A and B are shown apart, each in its own frame.
Chain A
Amino acid sequence: MADQPTAAERFIQGILPENPVFRQILGLCPTLAVTNGLKAAITMSAAVMFVLFCANVMISLIRNLLKPHLRIVIFTLTIATFVTIADRFLAAYVYQMSKVLGPYIPLIIVNCIIICRCEVCASKQGVVAAGADAIGQSLGFCLALSSIAIVREILGTGKIFDIRVLPAVWPDWVIMVLPPGAFLTFGLLLGLVNWYSARSQQTAGGK
């Protein structure tokens, strides 16, 4: 088999170069849905990190026993179980936040990021690499969600975590915390990321 990326490489790649949201364009549903507040975005990223880490480690442990045509069933079963555990945990310990996040926590089951990482990394590499990959990708996911949430929350309500950031004369752009604001913010930030990466590729290629 060709040289596989090491654990450290997996970790670094997940944060910016192979960012799941901005570069791989995966997991768009929670990205748009829970980013109207920074607190909700961070809670969702924490839940995804838990599920991704546990699923990756578990799949990596049994990777040698997986049969090709049953592997999707096993991935789905594993992910659904860990999502149920995460959902119950949130409902028990941060009940208000779990009500805000509502149906988007169980939707982590069909989040393409997790199935994709299980398929690409966990079923092929050891536990350490799989774990590092999970943490790297989750950090990238958290970064993406937080960047969108910060823009939406500041422009939409002038506050972050209930601390007033913009002066009181700012007329709250309420549209930013509503659905259209989600699409627009994400589209504009994606354009920005594309422009930046094209530029750095140009300067790297031009040298």
Chain B
Amino acid sequence: MKPIQQMEPLSPTAFERLRNNNIIQAWLVLILTLFFGSSLAGVQMTLGPKIEENKLNETLEKIPELILGAEGAQKLAESGGKLDVTPLSFVVDKPGKKAVYNVYEALDKDKKRLGWVVKTGGQGYADRIELLLGVDPEVKTVSGIFVLEQKETPGLGNKIVTDEWRGQFKGKNTEKSLGVVKGGKAGAGDINAITGATISSRSVTDIVNTAVADLKGPLTAKAEGGK
């Protein structure tokens, strides 16, 4: 790049000329700014809604699978039906801070509550893990989890997104916190850790346990009160 050129010292009479020049010189920048500003505004108006839709769909399209299971979701899609999904927000008081949870209430076409999907997250091994947790209407069993975002080690902690590891959560009872065991010998209230990725497995299980513990009360209250 060319080095910035030094300006020569000015005589007093030239000062007026220069002052005019500065304002005149900036006209191109001003015109370009207006032009670019309006084109950006146009882009925002046309593409903004589509991007919002994309963000929402990311969560919404996973809900049938989480509530009904893979076969149930497929049957629903084939029959052309849709779940009625209402986004809600719950504030839970915890020591030190308030936790706000985004919960989606899934109703079928007869307005019967099929379950809840909670969007939650927490610290994983490498970075934050975001996931969707599906529970039945009484928050008694887990109907499934889906990992939205993770940055775990590829080939090891990465396996938390696979269907077979996630599938362990289906049908687990929520009365007691789920535990994590190594060696593949998990009982009914435990999850098998991924070999070589115990911390990632524990992080996901902790996130699920915390969300269930926080929301069991409020969701069952809403289920009974709202009916």
Contacts and interface: CB of A to CB of B under 8 A. Distances in A.
Whether chain A touches chain B in the assembled complex (some CB pair under 8 Å): yes
Interface of A: 62, 65-70, 73-74, 77-78, 81, 84-85, 88-89, 91-93, 95, 116, 119, 156-157, 172, 174, 177-178
Contact of A95 (B25, B54, B155): B54
Contacts of B58: 95
B36 A78 contact: yes
A92 B54 contact: yes
A187 B48 CA distance: 40
Contacts of B4: 69
Contacts of A157: 154
A85 B155 contact: no
B25 A70 contact: yes
A91 B51 contact: yes
A-B complex: 4 closest residue pairs judged by Cβ atoms: A95-B54, A81-B36, A92-B50, A174-B155
A89 B48 CA distance: 10
Contacts of A116: 1
A85 B39 contact: yes
B29 A77 contact: yes
Contacts, number: 61
Interface residues of B, number: 26
B14 interface: no
Given A67-B25, A91-B54, A77 B1 contact: no
B91 interface: no
B28 interface: yes
| Majority SS at the chain A contact face | helix
Given A95-B54, A172-B155, A177-B154, A70 B28 contact: yes
Interface in B1-35: 1-2, 4-5, 25-26, 28-29, 32-33
Given A92-B50, A92-B54, A95-B54, 14 more contacts: A67-B25, A67-B28, A70-B29, A74-B32, A77-B29, A77-B33, A77-B36, A81-B39, A84-B43, A85-B40, A88-B43, A88-B47, A119-B1, A156-B154
B44 interface: yes
Interface of B: 1-2, 4-5, 25-26, 28-29, 32-33, 36, 39-40, 43-44, 47-48, 50-51, 54-55, 58, 153-156
Contacts of B54: 91-92, 95
Contact of A65 (B5, B28, B39, B155): B28
A171 to B, nearest CB: 10
A62 B28 contact: yes
21 contacts: A62-B32, A65-B28, A67-B28, A68-B5, A70-B25, A70-B28, A73-B29, A74-B29, A77-B29, A77-B33, A78-B32, A85-B43, A88-B43, A88-B44, A88-B48, A91-B54, A92-B47, A95-B55, A119-B1, A119-B2, A174-B156
Contacts of B26: 70
A88 B51 CA distance: 8
A172 B51 CA distance: 36
Contacts of A69: 4-5
A181 B185 CA distance: 36
A137 B32 CA distance: 26
B58 to A, nearest CB: 7
A84 B28 contact: no
